[in-house]
């Protein structure tokens, strides 16, 4: 097969060292991922190899350049994610300008895949949004970012984060500590996401003031949520009755986001997430967004784990 060569120009507006990484670490990572020769001279990148491999490398560099142009400083994990997306044909529109939130560390949160973009667009558009997909697709994290952004813009007066408490072998009553200490392990992932966006001192102050509430799903019964951004996480572990109870808490000026992964269910019997998908599919102002392995933005090994389990049919 006749080798193909292509020359890419790095825009004068960006620093080539940010693109290539410390000691050309990003460049070395791209070379290791493909069967192509890559050389850099000044602001020129020469890629040689088979037409298919050259095309893939070109796609990775093009997306990497857009990251740097958007103000990012790509790390090895970003390169691995781009390589994985390109190799699996994941589509990526011009998402980089769609910032959701600027964290207290000054890092811009934005969707990284086309599926994530559909998800945040649905949250903006709909009063109730269901985000359904495997681990690592950013379902809870992006919902939290949208909630914090809405609170900062004063679109809502409070944030309510809730999860069903599903016991796995141990009864809550036999665990040591106060009720709050017993519940903390169940809602800890919500705390983790919150404190990644707002510093711990500020986050704890908002919790103490009641502006942000984190509670088990059972505590939602009998309440009406007005002027609130409410996130129900791990919805695959709800019963149909619990799901109906939660959704009917909706009040004026509120927005609900429900997240879940049908493959990680710990509750026996019918799933409230599955029943909601059947019953509410055609209801206006309710959106269902399906995320898949192409939207996984954790370590690339997570995507391969999901693929392996999907092929085996064992989970």
What pLDDT is stored for residue 298 in this prediction?
Answer: 67
C-beta of residue 262 within 8 angstroms of C-beta of residue 132: yes
44 shares its domain with 140 = no
11 shares its domain with 158 = no
277 lies in some domain:
yes
79 shares its domain with 192 = no
What pLDDT is stored for residue 96 in this prediction?
Answer: 43
93 lies in some domain:
no
Which residues of the chain, if any, have pLDDT below 50? 93-97, 168-172
Domain that holds residue 16: 4-87
What pLDDT is stored for residue 228 in this prediction?
Answer: 96
Residue 216: name the closest of 186, 189, 238 by CA: 186
**Structure-token match 């109730």, residue found:** 128
150 lies in some domain:
yes
129 lies in some domain:
yes
Among residues 56, 87, 118, which one ends one of the domains?
Answer: 87
Among residues 62, 87, 112, which one ends one of the domains?
Answer: 87
Task: Give tens-digit pLDDT for 255-274.
Answer: 999 999 988 887 777 899 99
120 lies in some domain:
yes
Distance from C-alpha of 186 to C-alpha of 170, rounded to nearest angstrom: 13
69 shares its domain with 182 = no
239 shares its domain with 129 = yes
106 shares its domain with 64 = no
C-beta of residue 135 within 8 angstroms of C-beta of residue 306: yes
Among residues 60, 87, 114, which one ends one of the domains?
Answer: 87
222 lies in some domain:
yes
Q: Measure the CA angle with vertex 230, ends 229 and 234; round to 5°.
A: 145
| Tally of structural domains, the chain | 2
What pLDDT is stored for residue 168 in this prediction?
Answer: 44
184 shares its domain with 264 = yes
Global pTM?
0.71
CATH number, domain containing residue 195: 3.40.50.300
DSSP reduced 3-state for 5? strand
Residue 300: name the closest of 22, 70, 63, 86 by CA: 86
What pLDDT is stored for residue 314 in this prediction?
Answer: 66
27 shares its domain with 173 = no
CATH number, domain containing residue 55: 3.30.1370.10
What pLDDT is stored for residue 310 in this prediction?
Answer: 74
CA atoms within 13 A on the CB side of 5: 7
**Helix (H), strand (E) at residue 256:** strand 255-260
225 shares its domain with 302 = yes
73 shares its domain with 171 = no
252 lies in some domain:
yes
What pLDDT is stored for residue 68 in this prediction?
Answer: 82
What pLDDT is stored for residue 265 in this prediction?
Answer: 82
Please name the residues in contact with 198: beta carbons below 8 A apart, sequence gap of 6 or more.
103, 104, 148, 206
75 lies in some domain:
yes
20 shares its domain with 57 = yes
What pLDDT is stored for residue 121 in this prediction?
Answer: 92
131 shares its domain with 255 = yes
Measuring CA to CA, how many Å separate 132 from each of 18, 143, 236, 277?
A: 35, 12, 9, 10
């Amino acid at each position: 097969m006749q080798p193909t060569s292509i020359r890419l120009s790095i825009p004068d507006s960006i620093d080539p060292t940010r693109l290539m990484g410390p000691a050309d670490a990003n460049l070395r990572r791209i070379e290791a991922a493909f069967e192509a020769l890559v050389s850099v001279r000044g602001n020129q990148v020469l890629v040689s190899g088979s037409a298919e491999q050259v095309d893939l490398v070109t796609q990775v560099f093009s997306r990497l350049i857009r990251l740097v142009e958007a103000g990012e400083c790509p790390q090895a994990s970003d390169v691995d994610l781009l390589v994985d997306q390109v190799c699996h044909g994941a589509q990526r529109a011009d998402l980089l300008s769609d910032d959701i939130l600027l964290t207290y560390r000054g890092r811009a949160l934005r969707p990284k895949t086309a599926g994530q973009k559909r998800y945040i667009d649905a949250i903006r558009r709909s009063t109730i949004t269901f985000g359904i997909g495997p681990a690592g697709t950013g379902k809870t994290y992006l919902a939290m970012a949208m909630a914090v952004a809405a609170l900062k813009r004063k679109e809502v007066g409070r944030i309510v984060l809730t999860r069903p408490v599903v016991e796995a072998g141990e009864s809550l009553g036999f665990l040591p500590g106060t009720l709050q200490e017993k519940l903390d392990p169940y809602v800890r992932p919500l705390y983790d996401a919150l404190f990644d966006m707002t510093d711990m001192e500020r986050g704890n102050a908002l919790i103490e003031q009641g502006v942000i509430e984190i509670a088990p799903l059972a505590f939602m019964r009998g309440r009406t949520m007005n002027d609130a951004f409410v996130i129900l996480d791990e919805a695959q572990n709800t019963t149909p009755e619990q799901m109906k109870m939660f959704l009917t808490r909706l009040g004026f000026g509120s927005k609900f986001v429900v997240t879940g992964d049908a493959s990680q269910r710990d509750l026996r019997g019918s799933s409230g997430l599955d029943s909601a998908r059947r019953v509410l599919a055609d209801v206006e102002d309710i959106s269902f967004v399906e995320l898949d392995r192409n939207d996984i933005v954790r370590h690339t090994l997570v995507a391969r784990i999901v693929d392996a389990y999907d092929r085996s049919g064992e989970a």
